[in-house]
Structure 1
Amino acid sequence: MIKKYVIERKSWILLFLFGQGLLLFIAYLDYEIPFSPILYIVFLFTTLFAIFLTIRYNRETKFFKQLEEREINLDLSSIADAESPFEQIVETSMTSLTERLSQIASRHQVALEQEKDELLSWIHEVKTPLTAMRLMIDRLDDETMKAALTYEWLRIHLLLDQQLHQKRLPSMENDLYIEYVDLEALIYMEIKTLKSWCIQKGIGFDVQFEVTKVLSDAKWLAFILRQLLTNAVKYSDSDSSDIIVKSYQKHERTVLEVKDHGRGINPKDLPRIFDKGFTSTTWHQDSAATGMGLYLAQKAAQALLIHIAVHSEAGGGTTFTLTFPQPNETVRITGM
């Protein structure tokens, strides 16, 4: 701030120094003017000017220091009242601007909330004909047609579910209910949903449970598992080995693994698979991928203090690992 202040007052400082230098120069040329007293006067004025600059520096930079150090938000309460007329102009301008920005932000927030509510309402409305469609599909006698329609129905169902949870994610903390969840029942429920797809691809599940209870939120945990199981089925080749789902205890923490034997993930893509909208560089032509499933799964897992890790090699299958928090750590989620 000192450097900035000197640059701001450079013209005044240069004018003063020029005046003192000119006075010394005239005293040096004119023998009738005693040089020593003039030099003494110049020294006194320079000292006073330095003291004056120091005092003015503290007063003039106080307001601007607060502007420089304040957080980037619309709250101006941390800034002291302006003293000089120029500071008052800046304060008035900032106050008017923040009030306008606050009004615009409020209108946008209301519009976004309204859009979110309308979309959630639309999703719930769509679920009704989707349920009716499933009942109609189940009554079909043509097994080939039935399998094809069931697969397409499942795709719509999963996309709607993903969209629903995406809209709920920002307010997820208000929707959490931490309890002991039956992990085994949750896994079997999600596998049952994917049953028709797995039959179509000739893929089975090998389920191994050492730990069946975890402390988490059942609804959001089911969503995370749904994304991992869906990915495992989607990227497994037809008639490939079973998808392995197993839970065990490691370092006093519950660990759940979902392992497929599909095409795997290219090593250069691994650091980006949880990025929003990222699909793949190797399989970029896959139009069915949205790049949202793993992103949403990780966001939900972070809120539940679940750590997601992935290990994969191109052509060697993929293993996703969920490491659950210890019971005492869930206090950070509930706030209790």
Structure 2
Amino acid sequence: MRYGVYVRERVGQILFVSGVLATVEIFLLTVRASLWIGIYTALCFYGTYFLVSWQEFRREKIYFRNIMESIEGLDKKYLLPEMLGYPANQEERMLKELLEALGKSMADHVNYYKNAEQEYKEYIELWIHEVKTPIAAGKLMVENHQTENARELEAELERIEDYTEQALFYARSAHVEKDYLIRRVKLKDLVTWAVKRNKRALIAKRASIEMNGLETVVYSDEKWLAFILNQILSNSVKYGDKETLKLSFTGNEEQEQVTLAIRDNGRGIKSRDLDRVFEKGFTGSRERQARQATGLGLYLCKKLCGRLGHGIEIASTEGEGCEVRLIFPRGSYADVI
């Protein structure tokens, strides 16, 4: 705040004071008062006005400076009205009441959408749990009728199951901290589970699998980590265009971290797409043409890794394959457990 700007904004007040002063000066002229009395009166009028306005300017400047300092020091800025203290005059009281009203309105608005989001999330979770029953029933029926068409139908049912699981994890991904249990997880057990989960697709692709260094133990939530690994493996199977799919799972124990590298010999990723594969809804040019991808798999992997304190990196050369690295920092969970 600047005093010059403060005064310019009060031109009306100055004109009013000048009008009153002119009336007094005219009166002094009618009573034939001396010139010095007129000058003294004008100085008193303007001096008093500008002195009072300067004091008011200083008070407002200090008040608003304190408000700005309070805002900068607050993580939750909507709590500002609680930090203002008792108002010194009517203007400050009105400002505080206004801020409180705005804060309440915004809080009600946010709570409305939070409750709506929570209700939708609960509905999605309920729907997914309910739809798993007919999926399981369908798979049992297919197992009792082993024909070529039945095997194709079973593969489609497994795809539906994967998509429903993806929807469930997506609904829960915003609040991972409420649904995880950190414990020791052996990489070999995790990879073996993922391979068995995708065994039909891997057999269809004539996949050869190589495992190295998987005796390593990491600290994570087994359920969430299994979902991440399954998404990565599903992508390797889905985009493996070559006659024989080659997969390798390699664990590497370093001083500061443990890494799990999943490498395939699939179509790979174009260099221009590589920086965007973790974006929500992003699909490569081939996938857009074939309309096969949702653009959620790697996005969820990245999001869940961030929530769990893990890292994820991807490297690829188009036409040669892709490598995804899961990174587990040492110390953070190990110290707790």
**Alpha-carbon shift at residue 102 of structure 1 (Å):** 2.1
1:12 partner letter: R
**1:10: which partner in 2?**
8
**2:185: which partner in 1?**
181
Distance 2:257 2:317 in 1: 26
Counterparts of residues 267-278 of structure 1 (less than 5 Å): 267-278=271-282
Q: Does 1:194 align with 2:192?
A: no
Counterparts of residues 29-68 of structure 1 (less than 5 Å): 52=52, 54-65=54-65, 67-68=67-68
Deviation sequence 1:143-169 (CA, Å, 0-9, x none)? x32332122112111111111111112
**Alpha-carbon shift at residue 185 of structure 1 (Å):** 1.2
Distance 1:192 1:172 in 2: 26
Q: Does 1:149 align with 2:153?
A: yes
**1:99: which partner in 2?**
104
1:11/1:169 CA distance change after superposition, 3 Å: closer
Assess if the C-alpha contact under 8 Å between 2:250 and 2:261 holds in 1: yes
Provide the secondary structure at the position in 2 that maps to 1:267.
coil
Equivalent position to 1:113, from 94, 115, 118: 118
Equivalent position to 1:167, from 161, 166, 171: 171
Counterparts of residues 181-330 of structure 1 (less than 5 Å): 181-281=185-285, 283-326=287-330, 328-330=331-333
1:314/1:96 CA distance change after superposition, 3 Å: same
1:286 partner letter: A
**2:29: which partner in 1?**
none
**1:29: which partner in 2?**
none
Distance 1:241 1:331 in 2: 36
Provide the secondary structure at the position in 2 that maps to 1:216.
strand
Provide the secondary structure at the position in 1 that maps to 2:78.
coil
Provide the secondary structure at the position in 1 that maps to 2:292.
coil
Provide the secondary structure at the position in 2 that maps to 1:236.
coil
Provide the secondary structure at the position in 2 that maps to 1:265.
coil
- How many residue pairs get matched? 320
Distance 2:130 2:159 in 1: 17
Distance 1:325 1:98 in 2: 41
Provide the secondary structure at the position in 2 that maps to 1:263.
coil
Distance 1:280 1:66 in 2: 52
**Alpha-carbon shift at residue 130 of structure 1 (Å):** 0.8
Distance 1:166 1:115 in 2: 12
Distance 1:84 1:316 in 2: 74
**Alpha-carbon shift at residue 267 of structure 1 (Å):** 1.4
Provide the secondary structure at the position in 2 that maps to 1:309.
strand
Distance 1:286 1:311 in 2: 23
1:59/1:133 CA distance change after superposition, 3 Å: same
Provide the secondary structure at the position in 2 that maps to 1:262.
coil
Provide the secondary structure at the position in 2 that maps to 1:285.
helix
Distance 1:233 1:295 in 2: 18
Point out where structure 2 has 5 or more consecutive residues left out of the alignment. 23-33
Deviation sequence 1:120-144 (CA, Å, 0-9, x none)? 11111111111111112222231x3
Point out where structure 1 has 5 or more consecutive residues left out of the alignment. 24-31
Assess if the C-alpha contact under 8 Å between 1:240 and 1:262 holds in 2: no
1:232 partner letter: S
Provide the secondary structure at the position in 2 that maps to 1:119.
helix
Q: CA RMSD in A?
A: 3.3
Which contiguous aligned blocks of 4+ residues in structure 1 show a shift greater than 4 angstroms? 13-19, 44-54, 66-69
> Once the two structures are aligned, what percentage of the paired residues are identical?
28
Distance 1:281 1:47 in 2: 75
1:86/1:212 CA distance change after superposition, 3 Å: same
Distance 1:106 1:16 in 2: 48
**1:27: which partner in 2?**
none
Distance 1:286 1:8 in 2: 65
Provide the secondary structure at the position in 2 that maps to 1:127.
helix
Question: Structure 2 length as normaliser, TM-score?
Answer: 0.82
1:321 partner letter: R
Provide the secondary structure at the position in 2 that maps to 1:207.
strand
